[in-house]
Amino acid sequence: MQNSPSSELPPLLAAIQSPEDVKKLPAGQLDALAAEIRETLIHTLAETGGHLAPNLGLVELSIALHRVFNTPTDKILFDVSHQCYVHKLLTGRAGQFHTLRQHGGLSGFCKRSESEHDAYGAGHAGTALSAGLGMAAARDLAREDYHVISVVGDGAFTCGTTLEGLNNIATTTRKFILILNDNEWSIDRNVGALSAYFASLQETDTYAWLRRNTKAIIEKIAGTTARKQVSKLVRAAHGIITPLSFFQELGLSYYGPVDGHDPKRLEKILRIAARNDGPVIIHVITEKGRGYAPAAGNPTKFHGIGQYNVEDGSTSKGAVITYSEAFGTHLTRLAADDPDITAITAAMPTGTRLDIFRSRFPKRYYDVGIAEEHASLVACGMATQGLKPYLAVYSTFMQRCVDMIQHDAALQNLPVRFCMDRAGLSPDDGPTHHGVFDIAMMRAIPNLVMMQPKDEAELGHMLATMNTINDRPSLIRYPRGAGEGVPMPAELTPLPLGKAEMIADGSDITLLALGNMNGYAAKVRQLLAEKGISCAHVNARFICPLDAECILQQASRSRLIVTMEDHVIAGGFGSAVMEMLNEHRHATPVLRIGWPNQFIEHGSEAQLRAKYQLTPQAIAECIYNNFTNK
């Protein structure tokens, strides 16, 4: 990519060292500042990758928030916090912005340890409203008077936790600001001219004062009964002409829709809302990808993207098929021969490549929005009726489904197929997205089949295996990014359930590798052979049930068992092997290779593997030292 350097900041942005500098900027320069911020986002993310389209749409709103409110005293929460790039630029981190998502640099999400201005860190949707309510409740108990503002995208309103939070706003706090960042224009189109009329009324201090005080005035003049009757009449009339009474019934004063790219109007509405003594929702209309034609024209592609060419937004596509592409292709092949197969995802058809399935079988494809728990239960319901549902989400989001996998699928022996993309390291996204905890979370669940393929071809065979499992749930985990470059299989054939694959024989050590660690195991075996150590290499394939026969046999022949997994050591695949050997009273020692039991920071895969000594050379050295010291 031939992109210009992004570490040099334009003049207005370079002068902003804190939110106080944003407040001092003359109103006539706000459009110029917004333009500089967009240019900085476009050129920086071309080099670092990241969430471009959402942040391009949030420029003016972020500026307005910092002109009206005073962080860190006032708390601004972003849902999902990948919308916080402009916030970072305006809170003293512009000079570091070129390090975004780089090892040792700025996180791609809000991070409390990174800045006092980051009130709450998260990489999953549906957190900002409830966490904000918790902050507001704490403020009220302490009798303090700062503002809490939760900025929530319209997509996150499909998330169960957001809906639960909406239900509790009025009973939790006296003062709270919820901003609905809507980049789909859905409500604006439904309401039309009447909505614009009410918006114009709401954008005045007089209207806001009347709305706050009318009930008290009527009660003082005519009594409580009259006040209640007038309130009912107002609610009924408002409900006839606008569907937005939904928010009013929840106890929120509604403002909007507001043009999210009009700095003057945004500031005006935010200042009015700041003077409101009750909970408020501000409906802001924004354009995802605004200011950069490739992103505006394809917001899905530029929602989260790697490096790209600034001139036309083009990206270099790898020659090797990704695991996600292999998954979508394999499942579509299976579905062509099995009409009972359905596919479900939670607002990530492109990321999981279920868009491949959708284009072929649109009536058997279901996107439930950001609602992983709901997706799991929909799949369970389908399974009770004889369908074969495949639910595909990222490992980090499948964490939310653990209850449903245990309580609903496994307990009832429902054959739901759970497919976890991005299992293992998700390098540049960091600790919110690494899928390194799923085995420990789920391998203790009874009646669950759990597996991981060594390459993109074996992924197809494992999907075919899942299709034959009709008496219990099954789960498959596979990594992010390019596969191993092996040919795609001509036929997808089921594997023997719970059986490992012997790849190479050896007499001293058994390398028991899971999934993508098989490639590392092959290199480690070669490095140890150069030191005179003979290693067997076994592709484990199954986490549960384990291939006890194979492992016990290798334990009897080897002086050391080494487990290798792209997962934390605690409670993972290696722990399962140790438990099984212990049950059979085998004294063969086990050396577990995997990630330490901690939250791994962001960075490139090469950097992280080098730091945590998980390169083939470091692993071989660790095994050699352990073996020779026995």
* Residue 352 belongs to a domain: yes
Task: Summarize pLDDT for 592-626 with one digit per residue, the tens.
Answer: 999 999 999 999 999 999 999 999 999 999 999 99
Domain match, 348 and 406 both? yes
| 54 shares its domain with 99 | yes
Instruction: Taking residues 72-97, report their average pLDDT.
Output: 94
Q: What is the pLDDT of residues 253-262, one digit of tens each?
A: 888 889 999 9
Element at 33 (helix H, strand E): helix 30-48
Helices vs. strands in the chain: H and E counts, helices first: 28, 17
Q: Is the pLDDT of residue 304 over 60?
A: yes
**pLDDT, tens digit (0-9, with 9 covering 90-100), for 441-472:** 999 999 999 999 999 999 999 999 999 999 99
- Quote the number of domains for the chain: 3
Least-confidence region, from 183-192, 332-341, 455-464 = 183-192
Q: Which positions are annotated as active-site residues?
A: 288, 372, 400
Does this model's pTM top 0.95? My answer is no
Are 70 and 188 in a shared domain? yes
For residue range 310-321, list pLDDT tens digits in order. 999 998 877 899
Instruction: Give me the helix-helix angle, 193-202 and 205-222, nearest 10°.
Output: 80
Is 228 part of a structural domain of the chain?
Answer: no
Check pLDDT > 70 for residue 154: yes
pLDDT tier at 187 (50, 70, 90 boundaries)? very low
Same domain, 143 and 274: yes
Is 21 in the same domain as 153? yes
pLDDT reading at 3 higher than 50: no
Q: What is the mean pLDDT of residues 126-143?
A: 94
The pLDDT of residue 234 is above 60: no
Per-residue model confidence as pLDDT tens digits over 552-569: 999 999 999 999 999 999
Share of the chain above pLDDT 70, in %: 89
Using the 3D structure, point to which of 477, 512, 533 is the last residue of a domain: 477
Q: In terms of C-beta density within 10 A (0-12 exposed, 13-18 middle, 19 or more buried), how is residue 436 classed? A: buried
- Of 297, 313, 347, the last residue of a domain is 297
The answer to whether residue 241 is domain-embedded is: no
Write down the pLDDT at residue 229: 62
Residue 424 lies in a domain: yes
Residue 52 within any structural domain of the chain: yes
pLDDT digits (tens, 9 = 90+) for 564-588: 999 999 999 999 999 999 999 999 9
Q: Which of 370, 363, 368, 394 is nearest to 379 (CA)?
A: 368
Q: Is the pLDDT of residue 146 over 90?
A: yes
How far is Cα 396 from Cα 424, in angstroms, rounded to an integer? 9
Residues 399 and 453 in one domain: yes
Residue 20 lies in a domain: yes
Is residue 426 domain-shared with residue 534, that is, in the same domain? no
On the question of pLDDT at 630 being above 80, the answer is: no
Both 132 and 19 in one domain: the answer is: yes
Q: Are residues 18 and 73 located together in one domain of the fold?
A: yes
Determine, yes or no, domain membership for 221.
Answer: no
Angstrom distances, CA of residue 190 to CA of 197, 242, 246, 285, 290: 14, 9, 14, 13, 23
Pair (408, 510) in one structural domain: no
Give yes or no: residues 152 and 26 share one domain.
Answer: yes
Pair (69, 175) in one structural domain? yes
Note down the domain range covering 22: 11-192+256-297
**CATH, residue 575:** 3.40.50.920
CATH of the domain at 57: 3.40.50.970
Q: What is the DSSP string of 324-390?
A: HHHHHHHHHHHHHH-TTEEEEESS-HHHHTHHHHHHH-GGGEEE--S-HHHHHHHHHHHHHTT-EEE
**Could you tell me if residue 484 is inside a domain?**
no
